[in-house]
Every structure is written in structure tokens, then in C-alpha cells.
């Protein structure tokens, strides 16, 4: 069995894979990463794992994790089953690397656009030749709500909510309409731009806001909240077989 660890900006997501199937899935705060990983490793007697992190983890915690199991850390130097044509490969986020691997694994010889709707909204495109061309980065839904609160003196911080109407009839409804409709129109618009260039486009939506957004988008998509974890598992398998 493989242990897959995704350290995000807000929390840690962990999965236990048996080959390519998820056996257990867990979420917790970054402060608990060491204790929670030890519990899972002991429960399933896991010896190998992989971790991607877009947040800082102390050197001490990292060393303790590596003593718990054989742990591979994803970086720009990690061997992957695609050709990276990004002009600044060292700056490409490890989460985006994993998403591209997931696309290549699940949709071989396809043009794939992966949209990760989390803290940030990222767009990553890999063509049918398994060449990664790049994509885009945009503020996520929660970030947009927080920005309105932070950079104004009177607007409130709200929890995300699908707007009742396009035309907001109150300040609260106007915020929901502006943010949520703005994100939906942005994603739909980007998809249409890609479709104009690649008519045979496969679209994957993943990330924390997958369920919230999936039914609001016009385009036909594959919604998979665990897509990044699947990509990490494939990176581990790919490197173990080298």
C-alpha cells in the first residue's frame, strides 16, 4: 500500500492507496501531520509514500516523517511521465505537477484541461502528446471573499453561497453574485477559449470547491476531488518502477 500526502495552503489531505484504489481518505490541520501519519502508517503497515507540499513544513517534522516511512518529496526534479515545456519549470507548483500526471494517467493521448478550484484556481493544460504547455493562476473563491473584507472598510466577510439571482438586491446578495457568478463565468470563459483551439478537449474539475462549482458550469466536465492524490500516487508508482 502507498501513503499519499497532499499538504495544501489550508489543510492536509492524506490517502491510502492499494494500487490505484483509495482505501482510506483523511483531512486534518497541518499541526497534526506527524501524529496522524504515524497512526495511518501503523494501521496499514505502510512502508512507502509520497508528499507534495505548497506550504512550509519544519525541517524537524520532515525528518520525523522520513523516519516513519520511506517518503518521496515531489519537486521540479521528480521524474514524471510527461514532457514539461513550462518556461520556468523550477517555479511550477508541485500540486500542478501532480494534476498533470493525473491527466496523463487517466486520459492518455487526450488534450486535457485540469481546473483546480481551491485556495487558488489553477488551469493546467497537457496535450495529447503528453506535453505540458502551462495554464493560469487566479484567486480562489474564499480568497475573493476575504479580499473584499480586507481591502474595503464596510463590506462584510461572508461564507460562500450560490447567489439567489444574477442581480443582487442587497449588499450581501451583490457580493455573492459578484464573486460566485464571476468565478463561474471566468471558468466557463477560459474553457471556451481552450475549446476554440482544441475542439477535442477533456475537462477535469478538482479541488475543494469542486462540488460547489460543478453544477453551475455550462461545460461537460469530469468532477474528481481526489484527482491530485491520484496523480501523486501515479508519480510514486512511476518512480518505484524505474
Class of domain 2-73 (CATH, top level):
alpha beta
Binding-site residues from annotation for K(+): 116
Binding-site residues from annotation for ATP: 6-13, 119
Per-residue pLDDT, 115: 98
Residues of the chain with CATH 3.30.420.40: 2-73, 83-232
| Digit-coded pLDDT (tens) for 22-38 | 999 999 988 888 899 99
Position of cell 460543478?
214
From 29, 95, 124, 159, active-site residue:
95
DSSP type of residue 119: S
CB atoms within 10 A of CB 46: 18
pLDDT at 138 over 70: yes
Question: What's the CA dihedral at 105, 108, 112, 114 to 10 degrees?
Answer: -10
The yes or no reply on domain 83-232 and CATH 3.30.420.40 is: yes
Q: Are strands 83-84 and 201-206 parallel, antiparallel or unpaired?
A: unpaired
Q: Could you tell me the three cell numbers for 83?
A: 514532457
Active site residue 95: yes
Per-residue pLDDT, 242: 63
Q: Could you tell me the three cell numbers for 21?
A: 484504489
Per-residue pLDDT, 104: 97
Give CA separation, 183 vs 75, 115, 139, 227, in Å. 30, 12, 9, 21
Q: Which run of H or E residues covers position 126? A: strand 120-126
Cβ neighbours for 197, distance < 8 A, ≥ 6 positions apart: none
Per-residue pLDDT, 189: 97
Per-residue pLDDT, 132: 98
The confidence band for 19, taking pLDDT boundaries of 50, 70 and 90, is confident
CB atoms within 10 A of CB 80: 21
Binding-site residues from annotation: 6-13, 86, 93-96, 116, 119, 171
DSSP alpha helices (H): ranges in the chain?
Answer: 33-44, 59-68, 94-106, 141-150, 171-176, 182-197, 210-214, 227-240
pLDDT at 100 over 80: yes
Amino acid at each position: 500500500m502507498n501513503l499519499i500526502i497532499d499538504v495544501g495552503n489550508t489543510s492536509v489531505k492524506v490517502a491510502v492507496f492499494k494500487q490505484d484504489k483509495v482505501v482510506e481518505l483523511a483531512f486534518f490541520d497541518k499541526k497534526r501531520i506527524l501524529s496522524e501519519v504515524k497512526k495511518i502508517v501503523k494501521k496499514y503497515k505502510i512502508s512507502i509514500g509520497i508528499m507534495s507540499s505548497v506550504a512550509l513544513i519544519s525541517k524537524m517534522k520532515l525528518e520525523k516523517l522520513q523516519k516513519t516511512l520511506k517518503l518521496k518529496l515531489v519537486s521540479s526534479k521528480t521524474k514524471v511521465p510527461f514532457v514539461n515545456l513550462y518556461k520556468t519549470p523550477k517555479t511550477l507548483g508541485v500540486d500542478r505537477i501532480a494534476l498533470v500526471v493525473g491527466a496523463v494517467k487517466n486520459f492518455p493521448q487526450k488534450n486535457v484541461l485540469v481546473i483546480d478550484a481551491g485556495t487558488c484556481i489553477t488551469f493546467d493544460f497537457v496535450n495529447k502528446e503528453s506535453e505540458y504547455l502551462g495554464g493560469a493562476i487566479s484567486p480562489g473563491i474564499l480568497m475573493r471573499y476575504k479580499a473584499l473584507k480586507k481591502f474595503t472598510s464596510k463590506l462584510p466577510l461572508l461564507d460562500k453561497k450560490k447567489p439567489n439571482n444574477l442581480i443582487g438586491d442587497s449588499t450581501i446578495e451583490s457580493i455573492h453574485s459578484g464573486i460566485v457568478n464571476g468565478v463561474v463565468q471566468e471558468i466557463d470563459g477560459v474553457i471556451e477559449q481552450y475549446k476554440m483551439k482544441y475542439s477535442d478537449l477533456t475537462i477535469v474539475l478538482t479541488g475543494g470547491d469542486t462540488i460547489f462549482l460543478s453544477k453551475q458550469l455550462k461545460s461537460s466536465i469530469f468532477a474528481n476531488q481526489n484527482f491530485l492524490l491520484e496523480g501523486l500516487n501515479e508519480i510514486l508508482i512511476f518512480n518505484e518502477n524505474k
